[in-house]
Structure formats: C-alpha cells, structure tokens
Copies of this chain bind each other. A is one copy, B any other.
Amino acid sequence: MAPPSATLRRQLASLLVVRGSGHGRDSQRRYPRWELPNAELRRLLEQGVGGVILLGGSAEELRLRCEQLRRWAGQPLLLCADVEEGVGQRFEGASWLVPPLALGRLHGTEPGRAEQLAERYGRCTGRQARLLGLNWVLGPVCDVNNNPANPVINVRAWGDTVPAAAALAAAFVRGCQAEGVLACAKHFPGHGDTSTDSHLALPLIPHGRQRLEAVELPPFQAAIAAGVASVMTAHLQLPALDADYPATLSEPVLTGLLRRQLGFTGLVVTDALVMEAISAAYGPAEAAELAFQAGADLILMPADAEAALDGLQRAVEAGRISPERLQASLERRQRALAQGPGQASDMPLGTLLTQLEQLVSPQERQLGAELLALSLEHSGAAPLPPGPGVNLIRLDSQLNSPQLPARAPALLRPAAAGYQARLLDGHSPSPWSGDPQAPLALERLGEGPVLLQLLVRGNPFRGSAGGDEPWPAVLHQLLAAGRLAGLAVYGSPYLWQSLRPLLPPQLPAAYSPGQMPEAQALVLQRLGLEANALEGGFTD
C-alpha cells in the first residue's frame, strides 16, 4: 500500500538532492542557473527535500550555510560537495590538494606510499568536510583515465591504470569514512574511456562486459569492498549493457550490474540530471522516474525539483514504483544519515570560532606540501634571465579565479624579477598573429624574455582548456627568437609531456599537477624565483 499522498510526497522529497550556493545570499551565487535562490531552497527544504549539493564560498561561509540549511529543513540532511581534491578545491581556506592523478602516477613506483597518502588525502577531506558541516563527500572518482583525450575526468582520476585507480580510490574511501563522512564512488560504471564531455552530450562507451570487468569495474569493486557508502551513476550510453537507456536510467546497469552482480547495498545517487546528456532527451519527471525505477535511491539536481517530485509521486501512485522499493531507498538513506553528523547544533560562537581556527591541522598542511613536492617535475637550470621581460599566463578565466588571486606567486614573483604580466583567457584581445610558424603576436605583449606559464587542465589539444592553441609552435617561435626565458605548466601532465621534449636541456622549466598558489610557489622556486613578501605566505 502506498502511504497517503502528503506523507508520500514528503518521503519522495527526502530522496531529492538540490543545488545551492555555499554563499549566504542570492546575489552571490556563482551559477544562478543551477543554484536555487534562497526562497525556493527554503521552501523545498521545508517540504522535506533531503539533500543539498553546495558550491562556492569560504570555509566560514560554508560552516554557517550548512547550519542554516539544517535549520530551514528541521530534519537531518545530506549535505554534499564535489570536493574531490580536498575541501579547499571548492571552499576557500580549507586544504586544496594536488589532483588525485598525481598519486596514481606515484603508485607505479611506490604503491605502498601512494596508498598511505591517498588514505590521508581521504581523511583530510573527510575531516574538514565534517568540521564545516558537510556529511557527504562526492568522491572518489573511480574512473580509470585510460584516454588522455578525456575532457572531463583526466587529472580527477586516481589512476590511468587499473591497479592504481582501484587501490587509491579504496584508500580514499577508508580515510574519508573513518572521519564519519560518507564517500561516493563515481561515475558508475566508468567514465574514463571517453573523449565526450557528458555535461554537453551523451558519450558512448562501446565496450562489452568482459572489457568492463577488466578495466572499468575494478575500482568500483575496490571502493565497495572498502565499504563506500554511495555510488554515483554516469551519464553514458553502454549499448552492450542496455540498448535503450544511458547508465543513469538503466536497470541492467544499476540493479543488474551494481546491486546484484557487485552486491552494492549502499546509496545509489544519479549524477546531476540537469546535465545535457540527460536533460536534452528526458523531461525532469521522466528522468527522475526512470532513474528511480532503474535502481537509484537519490535524485541529484533534477532540472525541476517540483516536476521530478510530481513524476515520482505519479509513478508510486500508479504502481510503477512499488512501496517496498520506495521503503528500501528511504531506509538506505536513513542508514547513511546515521553514519554521519546530520543535526543542526546550537554550539556557542566561541566553540565554532575555535573549530574554524583549527580547520587545517599541521598534519594536513604537511600532507599538502608532501603531495606538491612528490608531484613536481622540472628540468633545466635556474635562474631565469633578468627582466624586463614578459610573464605570459594562460588560464581559463581571470574572473574570480581561485588559481590567481591578486597575490598569486605566478604574478608576484615574476613581477619582482622585472617580468610584466600578460594574461590570456577567452576574453582577451587576440594575442595571435595568424602565422602558424610564429603564432604569437609578440609586439602586443612587450619586450624582453618571455616566461610562459600555462594553467591548463583537461585535454589541452582537443578539450576545452587550452583549446586548439599552438603551444608547441609558440615554444619554437620563442626559442628561434632567443626569447624563451622559462616554462611553467600547471595541471595537465599530457601538456607537460608534449612540451618538455621541445625544450633545450638547460632551459628552466617545471610542472605541477596542482594549479593553486602553493603549486605556483614551488614551481617558480625551481625557476629561481624566490618567495615574495607580498604573497602573504601559506601558513596561519
């Protein structure tokens, strides 16, 4: 028997996870298209919506925001964030660690050390998430990044080999959940081998079950064996498993493969249903119903929360979703909530301030430094030639860039050496000459030697970051003109690997998988640019 309508709607609402800003005010939302305004968010929480995925804001703001959302809801909530690279990746002031793939690389030579570091990585992320009010970390990425052209997984993966991805994802789960915070293995059944971005279109994975069992599934199996509390679905077409539906909406994938074959008993959550891969083909009610019928417990970021609720309610009332099936999802959610801190707490302000002051522990600071040091690569001999020169920085966007605050070492250290910053992003006047042999219009940039700093992630030559920009030709051009002073690459190992062989052996060059100011400090140190008092330091 289905419960009465009002109760049913409240139960279904608890299985929705909507998106909000970590900032307190509507005007501060970074992505207003997706982040609900406060009035709507509050109304949905009062109606029983059971989870919120948060983005944006500082550690302090997030701490207050989580408290506010729990008060609005009046019940325990699942509060989560995509903090795959430490809580500081999304919330300023917490630890922002180098991307997981750095440890995947280390695993090839020092598997034990890599696993131990991945577990500390998970502990750091879980502990800081808990202190700030989150009880659910949307990581680890369990995809094997075996396709360097992958525009969306890339350095987010824990490995480009199966053993690394499996061992390190499991280690992250152990660490995170030891702190009482739920982890989430994603994106099931494996998003590594695609060059399509599912934010834009539905990628197709042509592999059959045998290949999946050899490559894609082992990291998920390892995470499940480590007790991972949740698994997130992928928006991928896998014709060998389901001819009709993408994985997120596929019963053979979610119930057949994940629940029955892999024996997963925890929470299954969809990836964001608002993504084009789903929303271009399915309405919000249809997508929610199909996902739930396929085996998902939680519906993440429906394109329209009310419509998704309507769809689910109609499906239960019409018997297309059984009361038992609904009950099972509700119970899984309750079990998960019982594992983590979910209640609003009326702690005194003094206690809260002390907690915030202790947000980053000395051990976590040390972990961040160790990860940076082990993943640094460099060649050539410092220092750079003396300025005046040009500090040419390529980045995705200068607007509100967490990589490039005004005090970033990438700006301040070259400035102190006489190199004037020229920043290129998608909004810049063109720096290109139109000549493929000498693509940079150097006269638009300034005189003297050029320090080239590339902040590029994703695939540099086919993905979005870096676009089709001719960096190899630029290196040749600058070398031919005798104007290449040094090279710094932050982010993509594939870009670094493609450029490094083009450099003369003595030319100062360095790479870090991290793009944060601490990574810049370390890379530029290698290029002979010392710390600058204006940076303000990284300790507290």
Query: Per-residue 0/1 for A432-466: is the Cβ within 8 Å of any B Cβ (1 yes, 0 no)?
Result: 00000000010111000000000000000000000
Which stretch from A27-35, A194-202, A275-283, A315-323 is at the chain B interface? A27-35
Q: Given A60-B61, A430-B444, check contact A348 B348 (CB 8 Å).
A: yes
Give A60 Cβ to nearest chain B Cβ, in Å.
5
Asked if A3 CB lies within 8 Å of chain B CBs, one says no
Known: A30-B407, A92-B28, A444-B444. A38 touches B540 (CB 8 A): yes
- Cβ–Cβ contact B398 & A399, under 8 A: yes
Q: Is the CB of A407 within 8 A of B26?
A: no
Closest B residue to A96 by beta carbon equals B27
In the bound complex, how far is the Cα of B92 from the Cα of A61, in angstroms?
11
Is A25's beta carbon under 8 Å from chain B? yes
Q: Are A32 and B441 in contact (CB under 8 A)?
A: no
Complexed CA–CA distance, A71 and B28 (Å): 29
Residue of B38, B352, B407 near A349 (CB, 8 A) is B352
Contacts of A407 in B (CB 8 A): 29-32
Asked if A349 and B350 sit within 8 Å, CB to CB, the answer is: no
Given contacts A37-B537, A60-B60, A421-B427, are A93 and B25 in contact (CB under 8 A)? yes
Whether A444 contacts B429 by the Cβ 8 Å rule is yes
A405 to B537, CA, bound (A): 26
Considering only CB atoms and an 8 Å cut-off, how many residues of chain A contact the other chain? 68
Q: Which residue of B lies closest to A427 (CB)?
A: B423
Interface pair A348/B346, CB less than 8 Å apart: yes
Interface segment out of the listed A76-84, A118-126, A181-189, A528-536: A528-536
* A39 cross-chain contacts in B, Cβ below 8 A: 540
Is A5 among interface residues, defined by CB-CB distance under 8 A? no
Q: Residue of B at shortest CB range from A411? A: B399
Pairwise interchain contact A29-B406, C-beta atoms closer than 8 A: no
Q: Are A64 and B353 in contact (CB under 8 A)?
A: yes
Say yes or no: B71 contacts A64, CB within 8 Å: no
B24 with A60: CB separation less than 8 A = yes
- In the complex formed, the residue of B with least CB distance to A350 is B346
Task: State the number of copies, please.
Answer: 2
Query: Hey, which chain B residues are within 8 Å of A23, CB to CB?
Result: 58, 92-93
Contact B58 A533 (CB under 8 A): no
Interface presence of A68 (CB below 8 A)? yes
The residues in A between 10 and 31 inclusive whose CB is less than 8 angstroms from any CB of B are 23-31
Q: Is A401 an interface residue (CB 8 A)?
A: yes
Any chain B CB within 8 A of the CB of A227?
no
Q: Nearest Cβ in chain B — how far from A471, in angstroms?
A: 16
- Interface: A261 (CB within 8 A): no
Residues of B within 8 A of A540 (CB): 25-27, 37-39
Say yes or no: is A147 at the interface (Cβ < 8 Å to chain B): no
Judged by a CB distance under 8 angstroms, whether A109 is at the interface is no
Q: Kindly state whether residue A6 has any CB partner on chain B within 8 Å.
A: no
Bound together, the chains give a CA A537 to CA B27 distance in angstroms of 6
Q: Which of B32, B68, B405 contacts A399 (CB 8 A)?
A: B405
Residues of chain B within 8 A (CB-CB) of A411 are 399
- A32–B535 CA distance with the chains assembled, in angstroms: 6
- The answer to whether A93 touches B405 (Cβ under 8 A) is no
CA distance A398 to B536 in the complex (A): 21
Most chain B beta-carbon neighbours within 10 Å: one of A25, A71, A423: A25
Query: Contacts A24-B60, A30-B407, A400-B405 given; 12 further ones with Cβ under 8 A?
Result: A28-B58, A32-B535, A33-B533, A60-B64, A61-B61, A347-B349, A398-B398, A398-B427, A399-B405, A399-B411, A400-B400, A428-B429
Closest 4 CB pairs of A and B: A32-B536, A398-B398, A429-B444, A423-B427
